[in-house]
């Protein structure tokens, strides 16, 4: 800091209060060196100023004409809308004062690739009749060539005169022979151009055929680069490679120079590997619906095959109709052209609906057109509802078994797999609940005491699952939280488990309810059609079928997903994985 000596004490007190610390000047620096450095800097500044003045003198003409050039550019932009644009040239026509014609014609010599044609308006005026001379010339006039049979000449003349058209004389140099020669000339040029195009196509056929592939490859290469770390000489990229393709991947190091590859096993990386699903053509479209819930991880079974089979069964049971199923099948083939996944799903549920339509004897809602192979839902309401619950119980048992396998075998979690409400204890509770209900209605082949014992045992397993499981595994810590809090929470979880078992079983009654409702909805439209009769009756039946296909088809689709996601997935599937999304050099 530089300050007068008389304020040294006050200033020192102030800077000390602010926490500043004095630094000693380096011993090698002195006032003489500073003066010399200042002089050198001043000399460099003078040199820079001189260079700036020289640049100003060099570009004086450019700077002086800058405003003119900007103004000229602006005027040129105003004429762009008046230009006709061809492959190689711009075409522009305008009126030029007679005394400036020479200046305009000189532009052709001044600028290469420029062709200027002038036409004297006085010559045109001499050819016009005396009557037309007095008319003002409109520069916006357009000329049209009308070609028509001679027998309608009077009618055409009357029409064009009414519209205000005026006849123009044909130029002397324009006759049919000139037109024919010009046509032949242009046609020869076109033929020559086509030959050149065919020659180019034959020479570069491989390049043209691979153009879309090359563009796709370039796009994906840029996408890869955006995920790379870049050094002075190398790009650095890490990613996942399927185990079956590791050996092929390692060969890239020999194939490309200056490439270094290093691979690690997924066990040595502190990151969950992405999931690569492998399903056959029948089940593959259902991967889309499974991934709506979540992608599977490697510590659980891929649910796609089981989901695909059960979903098609559920859809067919709720929407069994041969005619309407065939409509879905036809829509599937059409939509496959635009979206293969959606089209494939429609085809599969269409086949399922058609098969169960044959079982129900239903064709576009009519139950007297084709024979019934199994049952008529509307005539056997109680049987259909009971069958739907039995079917639901079967699916729930399979779901519990898959869940137990996932937790015990793949996740090594016996606490949830054996003693949890979605494990063996939960399965025992569901079976005991069914036995007790069947005994209450005198329909159970198994005695009530067995059901009661199973229920009590399952409750004990759920309440004491943590201490028992951790004793078995040898864990020292028996509870995750306070002991009393754990048992209070376990008691409430028992109530939740019982309600869950009951709601899961009741939910499957909707399968039978929708099968009955499907027939009932058509019958309502049929009654209205009979009342209307005739043509309007047929229209009502058509609209009714469209409504059933569109609205009820969508509702059944959603209800099937609900049963899969909430009743079944909750027992065996978590969906905490992430999909393997490779960047392929091939077009998708």
Specify the residue for token string 């799903």.
Answer: 345
Report, as an integer, the average pLDDT of 457-465.
92
Query: With bands split at pLDDT 50, 70 and 90, how would you rate the model's confidence at 511?
Result: very high
Among candidate residues 564, 570, 551, the one with its CA nearest the CA of residue 510: 564
Rounded-to-integer distance, Cα 287 and Cα 104, Å: 72
- Is the pLDDT at 410 greater than 80? The verdict is yes
pLDDT greater at residue 163 or residue 24: 163
Distance CA 142, CA 535 (A): 56
Residue 586 DSSP class? S
Q: Evaluate whether 309 touches 323 at the Cβ level (below 8 Å).
A: no
Name the residue with higher pLDDT: 63 or 323.
323
Sign of CA dihedral 547, 552, 557, 562: positive
Which pLDDT does position 408 carry in this prediction?
A: 93
- Region 361-383 average pLDDT: 90
Domains of the chain: residue spans and CATH: 35-120+139-194 (3.30.70.2750), 283-571 (no CATH)
Q: Residue 129: is its pLDDT beyond 60?
A: no
CB count within 10 Å of CB 476 equals 5
Q: What is the pLDDT of residues 133-148, one digit of tens each?
A: 445 555 556 777 777 7
Average pLDDT over residues 179-190: 83
- Report which of residues 157 and 381 the model is more confident about: 381
Buried b vs exposed e over 82-108: b needs ≥16 C-beta within 10 Å? eeeeeeeeeeeeeeeeeeeeeeeeeee
Provide mean pLDDT across the span 68-88: 63
Percent of the chain with pLDDT over 70: 83
What is the overall mean pLDDT for the chain? 82
Per-residue pLDDT at 159 exceeds 80: no
From CA 287, how far away is CA 295, in angstroms rounded? 9
pLDDT average, residue stretch 366-390: 91
Is the Cβ–Cβ distance between 351 and 329 less than 8 Å? Answer: yes
Q: Check if the beta carbon of residue 403 is closer than 8 Å to that of residue 422.
A: yes
The residues with which 295 forms a beta bridge, in sequence order, are 577
The pLDDT of residue 147: 76
Q: Specify the pTM.
A: 0.62
Could you tell me how far CA 368 lies from the centroid of its own chain?
A: 45
Structure tokens, 582: 């490779």
pLDDT value for 438: 92
Residues 66, 86: Cα–Cα separation, whole Å: 31
Angle at 451 between CA 445 and CA 455, to 5 degrees: 160
Which of 588, 584, 587 minimizes the C-alpha distance to 241? 584
384 versus 29: the higher-pLDDT residue is 384
**Which has the closest alpha carbon to 146: 161, 135, 133, 132?**
161
What residues have CB less than 8 Å from 564, skipping those under 6 apart? 289, 307, 310, 311, 314
Mean of pLDDT values over 94-121: 74
Amino acid 28: pLDDT: 53
Residue 545 has pLDDT above 50, yes or no: yes
Q: Name the band, by pLDDT with cuts 50, 70 and 90, for residue 183.
A: confident
pLDDT in tens, 15-43: 776 666 666 555 555 566 677 777 887 88
φ/ψ of residue 89, rounded to 5:
-130, 160
Tokens of 106: 């000189």
Q: Are 418 and 538 in contact (CB under 8 A)?
A: no
- Please name every residue paired with 363 in a beta bridge, in sequence order, or none if there are none: 366
């Amino acid at each position: 800091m530089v300050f007068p000596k008389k304020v040294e004490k006050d200033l020192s007190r102030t800077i000390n209060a602010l926490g500043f610390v004095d630094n000693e000047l380096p011993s090698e620096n002195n006032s003489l060196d500073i003066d010399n450095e200042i002089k050198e800097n001043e000399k460099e500044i003078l040199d820079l100023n001189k260079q700036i003045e020289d640049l100003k003198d060099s570009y004086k003409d450019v700077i002086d004409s800058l405003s003119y050039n900007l103004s000229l550019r602006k005027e040129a932009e105003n004429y762009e809308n008046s230009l006709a644009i061809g492959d190689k040239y711009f075409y522009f026509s305008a009126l030029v004062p007679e005394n400036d014609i020479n200046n305009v014609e000189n532009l052709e010599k001044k600028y290469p690739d420029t062709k200027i044609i002038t036409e004297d308006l006085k010559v045109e005026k001499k050819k016009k009749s005396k009557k037309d001379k007095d008319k003002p010339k409109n520069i916006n006039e357009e000329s049209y060539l009308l070609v028509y049979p001679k027998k309608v000449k009077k009618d055409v003349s009357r029409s064009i005169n009414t519209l205000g058209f005026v006849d123009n004389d044909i130029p002397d140099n324009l006759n049919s022979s000139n037109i024919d020669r010009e046509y032949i000339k242009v046609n020869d040029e076109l033929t020559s151009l086509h030959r050149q195009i065919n020659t180019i196509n034959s020479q570069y056929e491989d390049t043209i055929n691979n153009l879309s592939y090359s563009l796709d490859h370039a796009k994906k290469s840029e996408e890869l680069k955006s995920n790379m770390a870049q050094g002075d000489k190398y790009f650095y990229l890490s990613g996942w490679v399927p185990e079956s393709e590791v050996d092929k991947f390692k060969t890239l190091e020999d194939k490309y120079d200056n490439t270094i590859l290093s691979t690690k096993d997924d066990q040595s990386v502190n990151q969950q590997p992405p999931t690569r699903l492998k399903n056959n053509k029948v089940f593959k479209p259902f991967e889309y619906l499974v991934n709506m819930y979540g992608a599977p991880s490697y510590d659980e079974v891929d649910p796609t095959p089981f989901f695909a089979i059960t979903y098609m069964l559920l859809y067919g049971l709720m929407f069994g109709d041969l005619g309407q199923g065939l409509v879905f099948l036809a829509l599937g083939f059409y939509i496959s052209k635009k979206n293969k996944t959606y089209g494939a799903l429609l085809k599969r549920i269409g086949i399922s609906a058609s098969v169960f339509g044959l079982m129900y004897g239903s064709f576009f809602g009519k139950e007297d057109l084709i024979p019934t192979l199994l049952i008529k839902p509307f005539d056997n309401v109680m049987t259909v509802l009971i069958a739907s619950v039995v079917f639901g119980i079967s699916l729930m048992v399979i779901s519990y078994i898959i869940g137990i396998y996932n937790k015990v075998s793949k996740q090594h979690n016996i606490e949830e797999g054996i003693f949890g409400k979605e494990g063996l204890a939960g399965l025992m509770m569901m079976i005991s609940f069914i036995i007790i209900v069947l005994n209450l209605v005198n329909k159970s082949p198994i005695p009530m005491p067995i059901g009661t014992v199973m229920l009590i045992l399952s409750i004990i397993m759920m309440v004491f699952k943590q201490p028992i499981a951790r004793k078995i595994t040898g864990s020292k810590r028996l509870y995750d939280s306070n002991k009393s809090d754990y048992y209070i929470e376990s008691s409430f979880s028992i109530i939740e488990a019982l309600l869950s078992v009951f709601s899961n079983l009741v939910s499957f009654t909707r399968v039978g309810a929708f099968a009955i409702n499907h027939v009932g909805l058509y019958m309502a439209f049929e009654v209205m059609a009979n009342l209307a009769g005739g043509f309007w009756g047929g229209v009502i039946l058509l609209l009714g079928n469209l409504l059933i296909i569109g609205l009820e088809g969508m509702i059944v689709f959603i209800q099937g997903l609900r049963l899969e996601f909430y009743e079944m997935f909750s027992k065996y599937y978590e969906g905490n994985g992430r999909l393997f999304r490779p960047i392929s050099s091939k077009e998708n």
